[in-house]
């Protein structure tokens, strides 16, 4: 049995998937707490929304430095550094005397989460054979989804005893646990050629991020733009579902429950989606995923009751879950052997910019026209993403 075949998906479970799950739980636990903290510190509703948006800003700011850190420090050290920054930022959130300090801490959490995610992404790309890559990265994405889904429930339980601070304490506990796992559990060694490419020639030092971007600009301006639109469409659904539920008169508890049901649908299919990616090819997953997401967004403004609203929310969850890990996988396929982490940092920047643009697009179109028009516009973005990905993603997954 060759070295390549000895590294399987589940062999990296304790060292890769468990820390990612724990980190996702922490991120989910603080997501609903951040705006509440901003309000407690005297911020307006608009200010609270801005503070929440700074988490995404931090991710965007951290993408390119994350690649550099992963190259210079190695993935494990970069993740430990990220967890240290998260713990410092969480302490600042707990002790923040003003909205300004809270906002700065939230930006740091966003930057650290970018470093943590990039390091995991780069390691899985190196360690897992190409024929298992879709399953490995869809599982990584699935662990993050499970964590984000479970985190708010654990945060709510802690908040029942500790108040708003409880959500932050959940993240503190799981961040410490993730750090312990990273220190105690060793990752399987990366075999030569594990990523399914020929070994790269050794160089004196890795190329810088700017040089990597220039060298791979043809990929970034095609597939990268597609990834940006995929991120925008996906992020739009996070505001479209609750806002339309409120628009048709559903109570907040029902909207929250159905939003969770949609998220549960995503979690159920992440591994089958990865299996299909490996067997059928990336194009045959990303295009249907975006078509279904776009269709569900276009249909959402046509719903007027809980039955049709639930059906469309489930379709939306299925479409989004079908693409679990697809952007990471396409980025890994496109990444060079030399300075891979630096390239992935640039790649993730496109997707994260899309994640930030999506909700802004919904807000702008809603202000200019109607909420229904905004949601349909988001659906159109998904259709454009499907067309671009269908055009640029190779059939065999290899990107030159």
Q: H or E segment at 32?
A: none
> Tell me, what's the pLDDT at 39?
87
- 3-state SS assignment for residue 188: coil
- My answer on whether 31 and 176 are in the same domain is yes
The share of the chain scoring above pLDDT 70, in percent, equals 92
Structure tokens given for 179: 């750090």
Euclidean distance between CA atoms 61 and 63, whole angstroms = 6
Where helices occur in 16-98 by DSSP H, the ranges are 18-30, 33-40, 45-73, 75-95
- ∠ at Cα 168 (34, 152), nearest 5°? 75
**Chain segment 221-264, per-residue pLDDT in tens:** 999 999 999 999 999 988 899 889 989 998 877 887 888 889 88
Residue range 38-85, pLDDT digits in tens: 988 998 877 887 888 889 899 999 999 998 898 888 889 999 999 999
Domain end, chosen from 142, 159, 188, is at 188
Query: Count of domains in the chain?
Result: 2
Split at pLDDT 50, 70, 90, the class of 206 is low
372 neighbors 359 (Cβ within 8 angstroms): no
* Residues 176 and 222 reside in one and the same domain: no
Same domain, 12 and 136: yes
Residues 182 and 308 both lie in one domain: no
Task: Give residue 268's domain range.
Answer: 208-395
CA atoms within 13 Å, Cβ hemisphere of 187? 22
- pLDDT tens digits for 66-75? 988 988 888 8
pLDDT tens sequence across 115-131: 999 999 999 998 899 99
Average pLDDT for the chain: 88
Query: Is the domain of 146 the same as that of 255?
Result: no
In-domain check, residue 202: no
34's tokens: 């951040």
Query: Which segment, 31-40, 94-103, 209-218, is predicted with the most confidence on average?
Result: 94-103
Q: Summarize the confidence of residues 131-138 as an average pLDDT.
A: 94
Asked if the structure places residue 93 within a domain, the reply is yes
Q: Is the pLDDT of residue 351 over 60?
A: yes
| Over residues 329-339, mean pLDDT | 90
Is there a single domain that holds both residue 163 and residue 130? yes
The whole-model pTM stands at: 0.88
Q: What is the pLDDT of residue 8?
A: 74
Question: Is the distance from CB of 75 to CB of 125 less than 8 angstroms?
Answer: no
> Pick from 188, 219, 250: which residue ends a domain?
188
Please identify, among 188, 217, 252, the residue that sits at the C-terminal boundary of a domain: 188
Regarding whether 131 and 78 lie in a shared domain, the answer is yes
CATH number of the domain residue 141 falls in: 1.20.1250.20
Model confidence over 168-204: pLDDT tens digits?
A: 999 999 999 999 999 999 877 766 555 544 444 444 4
Shared domain for 315 and 388, answered yes or no, is yes
Separation in Å, CA 185 to CA 3, 39, 87, 112: 20, 40, 21, 21
Tell me whether residue 108 is in a domain: yes
212 in the same domain as 173? no
Nearest Cα neighbor of 71 from 191, 193, 211, 215 is 211
Residue 194 lies in a domain: no
């Amino acid at each position: 049995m060759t070295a390549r075949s000895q590294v399987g998906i589940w062999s990296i479970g304790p060292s890769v998937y468990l820390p990612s799950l724990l980190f996702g739980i922490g991120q989910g636990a603080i997501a609903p707490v951040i705006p509440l903290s901003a309000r407690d510190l005297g911020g307006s509703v608009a200010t609270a929304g801005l503070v929440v948006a700074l988490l995404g800003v931090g991710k965007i700011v951290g993408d390119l430095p994350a690649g550099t850190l992963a190259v210079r420090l190695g993935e494990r050290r970069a993740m430990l550094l990220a967890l240290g920054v998260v713990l410092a930022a969480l302490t600042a959130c707990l002790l923040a005397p003003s909205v300004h300090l809270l906002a700065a801490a939230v930006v740091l959490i966003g930057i650290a989460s970018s470093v943590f995610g990039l390091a995991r992404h780069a390691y899985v790309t190196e360690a897992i054979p190409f024929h298992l890559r879709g399953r490995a990265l869809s599982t990584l994405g699935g662990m993050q989804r499970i964590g984000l889904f479970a985190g708010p429930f654990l945060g709510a339980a802690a908040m029942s005893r500790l108040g708003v601070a409880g959500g932050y304490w959940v993240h503190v506990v799981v961040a410490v646990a993730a750090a312990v796992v990273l220190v105690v559990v060793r990752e399987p060694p990366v075999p030569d050629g594990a990523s399914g490419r020929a070994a790269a020639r050794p160089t004196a030092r890795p190329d810088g991020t700017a040089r990597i971007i220039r060298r791979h600009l043809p990929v970034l301006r095609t597939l990268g733009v597609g990834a940006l639109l995929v991120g925008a469409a996906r992020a739009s659904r996070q505001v479209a579902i609750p806002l339309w539920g409120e628009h048709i008169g559903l109570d907040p508890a029902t909207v929250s429950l159905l939003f969770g049901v949609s998220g549960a649908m995503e979690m159920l299919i992440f591994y089958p989606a990865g299996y299909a990616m490996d067997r059928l090819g990336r194009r045959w997953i990303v295009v249907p995923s975006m078509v279904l997401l776009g269709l569900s967004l276009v249909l959402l403004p046509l719903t007027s009751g809980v039955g049709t609203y639930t059906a469309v929310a489930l379709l939306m969850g299925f479409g989004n879950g079908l693409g679990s890990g697809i952007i990471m996988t396409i980025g890994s396929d496109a990444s060079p052997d030399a300075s891979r982490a630096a390239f992935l940092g640039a790649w993730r920047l496109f997707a994260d910019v899309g994640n930030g643009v999506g909700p802004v697009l919904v807000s702008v179109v809603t202000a200019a026209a109607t909420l229904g028009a905004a949601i349909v516009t988001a659906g159109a973005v998904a259709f454009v993403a499907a067309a671009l990905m269908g055009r640029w993603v190779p059939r065999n997954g290899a990107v030159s």
